[in-house]
Amino acid sequence: MKPNRRTTSYSDKRVSRLLRLGVAVLVVGLMAFVALYYQDQHVDAGPSLTGRQIAGAEAAVKKAPNNVQVRLQLAAAYLMDKRPNDALTQYDEILKADKANRPALLGRGRVLLNKGDLAAASVSYHKITDVAAKGEFAGADPQAQEAHYYLGSIAIKQGKTKVALVELETALKINAADSDSLYLLGVAQMKDGDPKLAVNAFKRALLFVPTGWCEPYSQLALAYGKLSLAPQKTYATGMANVCLKKPVDGKAQLKTLLKGPVAVDAMLGLGLTAEEESNNPEAVSWYKQVLTRDKKNATATSALSRLGAGPTSPAPAAKGSSTTQGPS
């Protein structure tokens, strides 16, 4: 039977109107929801801490344009806000008034170094080292040390290995525990064709920063490779792998060395790896094994002390282990 055309069309119109109304409600509802959500969730963050510092320092510079300290603060704030050119302007303004201002020279050098202007950066740093070398406290001058370090870094980039060696050794005379200078010295010694000295420098750098810094381990592996010391190379590669978040590979490499000439180093590495994995009982076990071979090993002794497992301390609990301690 055919449907009634007239009633069908009327019903269709009504349905269409309802559909349109429904769609309108949906659209308006969605818009209302978006407006409500935005108004309710959004809070104006206002200027950042750096923005506030810049505004404050700019006001201070306007008030006292000859005050070097406030200009240094403004330059530091610009640097934090990733505005190196503005910082450079401030450093230059300071150096117009005080040619030997060290914080400004250091800051200027850093900015220029980051911009890749090695020659100009080098000039800034030399202005510090030339004066500092004649000073009474030349051997204990942290700003001169920083300048020598960066001059060494620049010289390596410029391919002036001999210059780099001199600068970095001078930096280390001022601060022998500067791991960054030690690492760069190793890099320069490698470039100078002396992997034996480089090994020593990398090992000293790693003494101060044994975890979370992978480059010295990778460079150490290269240096050992050049010296054809296979077990030592495996050790350094294993430690580099652990550092590069490949602990399974790293540990496997270290475990192959437990009976060789670098057994103690491998055990220390395995102990450190266990510590990084929060497995303190295993770390203690490795460090204790080190002491059975080398009773005076300072690294193992200090690690055991750090883990609360010295000769008189009870063995540490594993992370998340339960205890039965009751209320007192």
Partner 1 sequence: MTNVETTSPVAPDTRASRAGSQGDVAGEAAPTKMTKKRKGMIAALVAALLILALLFAWYLMNRKPLSALPGLSSTTMPHYELSLYGATKPLGVAVTPTGDRIYVTESGGTQLVRVYDRGGKQTGTLKPPASTGAWHLPMYVAINPVTKDVYVSDRQSAAIYVYDSNGKYLRTFAPKGAVGKFAPMGLAFDPDGILYVTDIAGATTKTHRVLVFGADGTLVRQFKAQGSMSFPNGLVVDLRGNIDVADSNNGRLLIFNKSGKLLSTISPGVGEGDLGMPRGVAVDEAGRLFVVDTADHMVRVYRVEKSKVTPTYIGSFGDEGQLDGTFEYPNGVATDKRARVYITDRENNRVQVWGY
Residues near partner 1 (CB under 8 A) are: 3-16, 18-20, 22-23, 25-26, 29-30, 33, 36-37, 40-41, 43-46, 48-50, 52-53, 80, 211, 275-280, 316-317, 319-328
Q: How far apart are the first and last CA of the chain?
A: 90
- The residue among 18 and 140 lying less far from partner 1, judged by its C-beta, is 18
The dihedral formed by the CA atoms of 63, 68, 70 and 75, expressed in degrees to the nearest 10: 120
Long-range contacts of 100-106 (CB under 8 A, 24+ apart): 100/127, 100/131, 101/68, 102/128, 102/143, 103/72, 103/143, 104/68, 104/72, 104/75, 105/147, 106/143, 106/146, 106/147
Nearer to partner 1, 77 or 254 (CB): 77
Q: Between 312 and 322, name the residue whose CB sits nearer to partner 1.
A: 322
Q: Between 8 and 158, whose beta carbon lies closer to partner 1?
A: 8
What are the DSSP E strand ranges found in the chain?
none
The answer to whether 62 and 74 are in contact (CB under 8 A) is no
To the nearest whole angstrom, how small is the minimum distance from the Cβ of residue 23 to partner 1? 4
Cβ closest to partner 1, residue 9 vs residue 305? 9
Q: How far is CA 235 from CA 206, 211, 224, 251, 275, in A?
A: 13, 15, 10, 10, 18
| 3-state secondary structure (DSSP) of residue 1 | coil
Based on its alpha-carbon atoms, the radius of gyration of the chain, rounded to whole angstroms, reads 32
Nearest-approach distance from CB 266 to partner 1, in angstroms:
19
CB closer to partner 1 out of 252 and 317: 317
Q: Work out how close the CB of 255 gets to partner 1 at its nearest, in angstroms, rounded to a whole number.
A: 19
Tell me the three state secondary structure of residue 51: helix
CA distance readout (Å), 309 to 195, 207, 263, 273: 37, 21, 22, 17
CB of 308 to partner 1, least distance (A): 8
Question: CB-wise, 3 or 159, nearer to partner 1?
Answer: 3
Angle at alpha carbon of residue 207, lines to 300 and 320, rounded to 5°? 50
| Residue 227 vs residues 66, 184, 237: alpha-carbon distances, Å | 58, 19, 14
